[in-house]
Amino acid sequence: MEKTNQFELTRNGKAFILFGSLFIILGMAIENYLMIIPGVLFWLIVPSTYISFLKSQKYSFDASVRVSKEYIRSRGLLSVVTEISNTSSSNIKARVSLRFSYHFECIDKPENIYLVLPSNSTTKIVWLLLAVRRGNGEVGPVEISVGPFQFLFRNQRIIDESIYIKILPQRPRINIPWKTKKELLMKMVHEFAQRVRGRGDEFFALRDYLPGDEVKHIDWFATARHDKLISKEYEDERNLHFLIYLDLGSTMFGPKFEYALSSIVELSSLIKGTNHDLAVIAYSDFVKRLIVPQVGKNELRLMLNLFDIEATGVQSNFIDAVKFTKTNQLLHSIAIIFSDLEGDLRRKLQGIHLLQSMGSRVIFVNFSTMHFNILASPDWMLEQAQDMNYRDVIKYIFPSLVEDEYKKREKEVRNILYTIGGDYLEIAGYDDNLILALYRLMKQYSPTHRLVQEALGI
Amino acid sequence: MTMRIRDKVFVEEWEQTTISDTGAPILALAHHLFGALALGIIVFQSAFSLNIYVFAIWLILGIIVLFIDFIRGTSLSLGNELSFGVIFILGTIISLVIGNVNSMFFPEILGRIDIILYQVSAGICVSIRFLITFFYVEFFSQRNYYVKPISNYTEDQVHQYKQNLIKTDFEYTDIKTQGLFQKWGEIFKQMLWPIIILTVLAAAGIIYSLIIYYMIPRNAIAELVIRPSLIIIALLYTYLLIRTNSVLMKIHEKGKSEEIDDIVPDDLEE
């Protein structure tokens, strides 16, 4: 175990020596005992730290830190164990402090605790931490401070071990029963699987030949029978290929982005354990990250790739991301666009057209700025939002687009989607949920289906 | 500003709890009381000086300090004490400049012993106030809060998590921490040696001045000999403290280099 010892008179300590002398000298000069007595107190305290330092020279520790998990979800719990063995022959009174990054909060016990370490024995301290923010969390180092007045004279043994912990996006708050999810998935397969046909090998039906069909798909026997060109239609293996375009642009900054990430988690929980697959393309002005299609069984692998994605401060370029998927042959999928109506709408519309030409089924999910009511100010982007607490974030919020402009844009997007047979979903604030929105969509396709509320048992 | 839903959910489920050690508010109260007492004594003494300016200045400063203490409540820190000290020095300087030079420290109607008694008692109050602050900074002003589950969901979550860890290496156990009196005891134990040293120093100072008085009885020259020499001793003590610090650092570094010397031959043997 790597260990650093820190012994030093702090700036406070030096100031105390000087103040003490100043008070005493001044007090004696004008014969004022009011000043002499506090000065003497300052003089008393500094030597006491020296003496405790000399006494603590014979103390020897050995310590170790372990954590229960390497990765957890946001709002998940983590157990941290510190074992301190006191190998010297006397009891030690010490303050043990566990340092950790802002991603965590302590539960039931503060991070600094004062305890007596018995001689020749090992003390085990267990901290429970709650992950409060997504990202790359850090636990450690552990500081063992011996002796009084640490703010004057630092007398610490620091165990220089930092453990990095991946904190994945938060599990969605609304707890939707698995049965409902399964039902939704079945409906989605029913609605969408035919529309994304062409990628699989399984024979689906015969139909009239249409220009553009491949020649090898023509069923020559049927053609002979009917005396016209008949081609075979293949269907996908009834597996859905979800392709999520995650906007990392400046308008998706902050808690809104966290919510978009949670929605990905939600969608992946929908396909968990099935053979449907999910790919994520995170883009800003260029494609920042591609998480290659992961089938539902590898849901965790997908999650592990999501933990450190952050929104950037630049305008996003959707058309670029679509071109990227085209070159990577991610065609015929259900393209779900996680974005909003802010910024350059033209690029988004062009991208939607391109997606349609790639044979994808488009679902535009609008994380409505009107509902989330948050946009990042330029200050915030400069000051590295990563390193900020949510509590501080509130300061940087400013109002979004005016309502008329917003309505106009929404209409435009809806029109385009209507012409290409795509769908438009709106996530109305934090109370809404992607699964609920998908349910609403499915209800549009088959209105006879029982109500969403009923299905969710609300 | 309305709270966003996500924060609201967090606040509903987890309560940020500051450690509820019974000592903290009592200490803060005692701290404020001793501050008020010290200023009260000074105001009382300045009333005897029969100088309205001096009295008014100390009264105003006293009220300001009371207000500041009241506003700050239990958030004691070294910075706050600095402002208290600055107010004290400011009051002394202003009353020396504006009032009669003699009125503050040598009021004619009070005897010398009375003045010394007033000053010493005020000084002791200020010292105790400082001491309480040091203690508070040491034990209470650290980041001593944690979150506590309050909703059913989170309570259950924590309970289940603890249950799952039973009989593993990470089993959650409560640990016995030091009590308030134990902490106080530790501080006083550490201050025992310095008190002895300073008592010896003070005794030496008193004996020295008595000897000078014996040699030059009741003479202004005696004062001229005693005070400068005591000031020189104070300077020497300051130097000693600063030097001791650097010597301690050297002792520590020497210990480290010896460890390294021990390691090197082993490596060579390999």
Residues A246 and A385 in one domain: yes
A316 pLDDT exceeds 90?
no
Residues A226 and A323 in one domain: no
Residues A52 and A127 in one domain: no
Query: How far is CA A99 from its chain centroid?
Result: 22
- Which A-chain residues 25-44 have CB contacts (< 8 A) with chain B? 25, 28-38, 40-44
How many residues are there in chain A?
A: 458
DSSP codes joined into one string, chain B: -PPPHHHHHHHHHEEEEE---THHHHHHHHHHHHHHHHHHHHHHHHHHTT-HHHHHHHHHHHHHHHHHHHHHTT---HHHHHHHHHHHHHHHHHHHHTS-HHHHH--TTS-HHHHHHHHHHHHHHHHHHHHHHHHHHHHTSSS-EEEEE-SHHHHHHHHHHHHHHTTSTT-----PPPPHHHHHHHHHHHHHHHHHHHHHHHHHHHHHHHHHHHHSTT-HHHHHHHHHHHHHHHHHHHHHHHHHHHHHHHHHHHHHHHHHHHHHHHHHH-
Q: Residue A136: enclosing H or E segment and its boundaries?
A: strand A135-146
Euclidean distance between CA atoms A338 and A368, whole angstroms:
10
Tell me if chain B has a CB within 8 Å of the CB of A178: no
Residue A70 in domain: yes
Residue A224 in domain: yes
Nearest Cα residue in chain B from A7: B249
Per the model's pLDDT, the better-predicted residue between B225 and A396 turns out to be: B225
- Which B-chain residues 50-109 have CB contacts (< 8 A) with chain A? 78, 85, 88, 92, 96, 105
Question: A446: which residues sit within 8 A by CB, 6+ positions away?
Answer: A187
> Residue A109 has which token pair?
């016990």
Tokens 């004279």 sit on residue: A153
Give the CATH number, domain containing residue A295. 3.40.50.410
Q: What is the pLDDT of residues B182-206, one digit of tens each?
A: 877 877 787 788 888 888 888 888 8
Beta-ladder partners of A334 = A242, A361
For A446-455, which contacts have Cβ atoms below 8 Å and span 24 or more sequence positions? A446/A187, A449/A187, A455/A180, A455/A183
Beta-carbon neighbour count of residue B248 at 10 Å? 19
Which pLDDT score, from 0 to 100, does residue B142 have? 65
Q: Residue A208: enclosing H or E segment and its boundaries?
A: strand A202-208
A343 pLDDT exceeds 60?
yes
Residues A297 and A343 in one domain: yes
B134 pLDDT exceeds 90?
no
Q: Look at residues B252, B39, B248 and name the one whose alpha carbon lies nearest to residue B129.
A: B39
How many CB contacts within 8 angstroms connect chain A with chain B?
Answer: 201
Nearest Cα residue in chain A from B131: A41
Tell me if chain A has a CB within 8 Å of the CB of B238: yes
Which pLDDT score, from 0 to 100, does residue B1 have? 32
Which pLDDT score, from 0 to 100, does residue A176 have? 77
- Residue from A5, A9, A33 to probe the interface with B (highest B Cβ count within 10 Å): A33
Euclidean distance between CA atoms A433 and A442, whole angstroms:
14
Query: How far is CA A166 from its chain centroid?
Result: 9
Tell me if chain B has a CB within 8 Å of the CB of A374: yes
Q: What pLDDT band is residue B256 in, cutting at 50, 70 and 90?
A: low
Which pLDDT score, from 0 to 100, does residue A398 have? 45
Which pLDDT score, from 0 to 100, does residue A417 have? 92
CB A278 within 8 A of CB A271: yes
A283 pLDDT exceeds 90?
yes
Per the model's pLDDT, the better-predicted residue between B126 and A133 turns out to be: B126
DSSP 8-class letter at A329: T
DSSP codes joined into one string, B72-117: HTT---HHHHHHHHHHHHHHHHHHHHTS-HHHHH--TTS-HHHHHH
B102 pLDDT exceeds 80?
no
**A390-409 burial code (b ≥16 CB/10 A, e <16):** eeebbebbeebbeeeebeeb
The highest-confidence range among A47-56, A81-90, A168-177, by mean pLDDT, is A81-90
Residue A103 in domain: yes
Look at A84-98, A147-161, A392-406, B191-205 and tell me which has the smallest mean pLDDT: A392-406
Euclidean distance between CA atoms A15 and A11, whole angstroms:
6
C-alpha atoms less than 13 angstroms from C-alpha of B163 in its C-beta half-sphere: 6
Beta-carbon neighbour count of residue B175 at 10 Å? 13
Residues A47 and A90 in one domain: no
> Residue B93 has which token pair?
């300087």
How many residues are there in chain B?
A: 270
Nearest Cα residue in chain B from A111: B144
Residues A113 and A260 in one domain: no
Report, in angstroms and rounded to the nearest whole number, the Rg of chain B calculated over CA atoms: 28
Q: Is A347 helix (H, G, I), strand (E, B) or coil?
A: helix
Residue A325 in domain: yes
Euclidean distance between CA atoms A113 and A142, whole angstroms:
11
Phi, then psi, of A282 in degrees rounded to 5: -100, 120
- How many structural domains is chain A composed of? 4
Say which of A8, A38, A79 has its CB closest to residue B123: A38
Nearest Cα residue in chain B from A147: B190
Euclidean distance between CA atoms A413 and A252, whole angstroms:
18
Which pLDDT score, from 0 to 100, does residue B4 have? 44
A449 pLDDT exceeds 70?
no
Which pLDDT score, from 0 to 100, does residue A433 have? 83
N-terminal to C-terminal alpha carbon distance within chain A:
54
What is the pairing mode between strands A241-247 and A277-283?
parallel
- Which A-chain residues 43-72 have CB contacts (< 8 A) with chain B? 43-54, 57, 66, 68
Say which of A57, A114, A130 has its CB closest to residue B147: A130
Residues A447 and A315 in one domain: yes
Euclidean distance between CA atoms A4 and A2, whole angstroms:
7
Q: What is the pLDDT of residues A205-258, one digit of tens each?
A: 787 887 777 788 888 888 998 888 888 876 555 678 899 999 988 777 666 788
A350 pLDDT exceeds 90?
yes
Q: Look at residues B118, B69, B81 and name the one whose alpha carbon lies nearest to residue A19.
A: B81
Which pLDDT score, from 0 to 100, does residue A441 have? 85
Residues A305 and A399 in one domain: yes
CB–CB contact A28 B230 (8 Å): yes
Look at A176-180, A297-301, B89-93, B261-265 and tell me which has the smallest mean pLDDT: B261-265
Beta-ladder partners of A362 = A335
Euclidean distance between CA atoms B212 and B108, whole angstroms:
27
CB B196 within 8 A of CB A163: no
Q: Residue A344: enclosing H or E segment and its boundaries?
A: none
> Residue A234 has which token pair?
């293949």
Q: What is the pLDDT of residues A14-38, one digit of tens each?
A: 888 888 888 888 888 877 788 888 8
C-alpha atoms less than 13 angstroms from C-alpha of A458 in its C-beta half-sphere: 10
Residues A39 and A117 in one domain: no
Say which of A24, A48, A105 has its CB closest to residue B190: A48
Per-residue pLDDT averaged across A68-93, rounded? 89
- Which A-chain residues 255-294 have CB contacts (< 8 A) with chain B? 255, 258-259
> Residue A252 has which token pair?
């998706």
A9 pLDDT exceeds 90?
no
The type of residue at A257 is F
Which pLDDT score, from 0 to 100, does residue B141 have? 67
Q: What is the domain extent for residue A223?
A: 207-235
Tokens 């990095």 sit on residue: A164
Tell me if chain B has a CB within 8 Å of the CB of A18: yes
Euclidean distance between CA atoms A23 and A40, whole angstroms:
8
Tell me if chain A has a CB within 8 Å of the CB of B245: yes
Phi, then psi, of A229 in degrees rounded to 5: -70, 125
Residue A2 in domain: no
H helices present in A271-377, as ranges: 299-304, 318-327, 345-357, 369-372
Query: How far is CA A45 from its chain centroid?
Result: 48
Tell me if chain B has a CB within 8 Å of the CB of A399: no
Percentage of residues in chain B with pLDDT exceeding 70?
81
Say which of B162, B182, B234 has its CB closest to residue A24: B234
Residues A421 and A291 in one domain: yes
CB–CB contact A126 B173 (8 Å): yes
**Considering chain A, what is the average pLDDT of its residues?**
81
Nearest Cα residue in chain A from B236: A21
Q: Residue A23: enclosing H or E segment and its boundaries?
A: helix A11-29
- Residue from B146, B162, B180, B201 to probe the interface with A (highest A Cβ count within 10 Å): B146
Residue A202 in domain: no
